[in-house]
């Protein structure tokens, strides 16, 4: 049995903040592997300049290249339209029934878990790994989720530093042909330049 972390997102493009979250989750939750899970269709806020799911998958592959701790899953990328977390976890559970899944989220997303589709089914399929800084907000999240069956032993927390980098900023810099070094992995920067993504 392997402990597999899942970090979902649009990854338009993936940046060092995403990799830091994956890395801190790997260590803080004692995982064996963390998979980036790019969505097929980005939400409205991320739709501007979307180069398409295949480019986003390839950028994720470039981002994790050479790091044996990290990988990429196409479980959402191969399903057109909106994908609910419970459906994604069900598909992964069918593909990897022997593995223990941990769905990695930030504190704000964790607080909204009771409003997700079938939250108790989600908790039956995977642990929830919640990222935070210095434990701030963790008691509030525990209280917010306390009414969900399984939450008491299926929600785990890990610390990571705050990293104020956004994909929106990176797209703007790419459009202005400004350097991306230090904001995205070198392989992602090279891919964006080679494929002329986000060009104005």
Q: Are 26 and 129 in contact (CB under 8 A)?
A: no
Domain assignment present for 191:
no
Domain assignment present for 187:
no
Domain assignment present for 192:
no
Asked if pLDDT for residue 57 goes beyond 80, the answer is yes
Strands, DSSP E only, in 32-177?
Answer: 33-38, 70-72, 100-106, 127-132, 155-159
| 85: CATH | 3.40.50.620
Q: What digits encode the pLDDT tens for the residues 115-130?
A: 999 999 999 999 999 9
Q: What digits encode the pLDDT tens for the residues 191-200?
A: 999 999 998 6
The band of 48, judged by pLDDT with boundaries at 50, 70 and 90, is confident
Full-model pTM:
0.94
Q: What digits encode the pLDDT tens for the residues 66-98?
A: 999 999 999 999 999 888 999 999 999 999 899
Domain assignment present for 185:
no
Between the alpha carbon of residue 23 and those of residues 41, 135, 178, 182, the distances in Å are: 25, 17, 27, 16
Domain assignment present for 11:
yes
Number of H helices, E strands in the chain: 10, 6
Residue 117's domain spans which residues?
3-164
Q: Are 30 and 186 in contact (CB under 8 A)?
A: no
Asked if pLDDT for residue 9 goes beyond 80, the answer is yes
Q: What is the pLDDT of residue 18?
A: 97
In 48-85, which positions are buried (b, 16+ CB within 10 angstroms) versus exposed (e)? Answer: ebbbebebbbbbbbbbbeeeeebebbebbbeeeeebeb
Domain assignment present for 101:
yes
Asked if pLDDT for residue 28 goes beyond 70, the answer is yes
β-strand pairing of 155-159 with 127-132:
parallel
Q: What digits encode the pLDDT tens for the residues 127-172?
A: 999 999 877 789 999 999 999 998 999 999 999 998 999 999 999 9
Domain assignment present for 145:
yes
- Residues paired with residue 72 on neighbouring β-strands, in sequence order: 36
Q: What is the DSSP letter of 113?
A: G
Domain assignment present for 81:
yes
How many domains are contained in the chain? 1
Among 87, 70, 83, residue whose Cα is nearest residue 39 = 83
């Amino acid at each position: 049995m392997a402990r597999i972390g899942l970090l979902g997102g649009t990854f338009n493009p993936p940046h060092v903040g995403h990799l830091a979250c994956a890395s801190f989750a790997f260590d803080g939750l004692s995982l064996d592997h963390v998979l980036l899970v790019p969505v097929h269709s980005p939400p409205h806020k991320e739709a501007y300049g979307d180069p398409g799911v295949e480019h986003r998958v390839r950028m994720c592959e470039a981002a994790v290249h050479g790091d044996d701790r990290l990988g990429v899953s196409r479980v959402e990328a191969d399903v057109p339209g909106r994908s609910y977390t419970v459906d994604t976890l069900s598909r992964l559970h069918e593909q990897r029934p022997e593995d223990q899944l941990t769905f990695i989220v930030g504190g704000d997303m964790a607080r909204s878990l009771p409003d997700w589709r079938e939250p108790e089914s989600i908790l039956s399929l995977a642990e929830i790994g919640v990222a935070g800084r210095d434990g701030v907000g963790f008691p509030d999240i525990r209280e917010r989720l306390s009414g969900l069956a399984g939450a008491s032993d299926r929600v785990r927390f890990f610390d990571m530093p705050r990293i104020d980098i956004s994909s929106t900023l990176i797209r703007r810099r790419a459009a202005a042909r400004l350097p991306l070094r230090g904001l995205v992995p070198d392989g992602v920067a090279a891919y964006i330049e080679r494929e002329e993504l986000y060009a104005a």
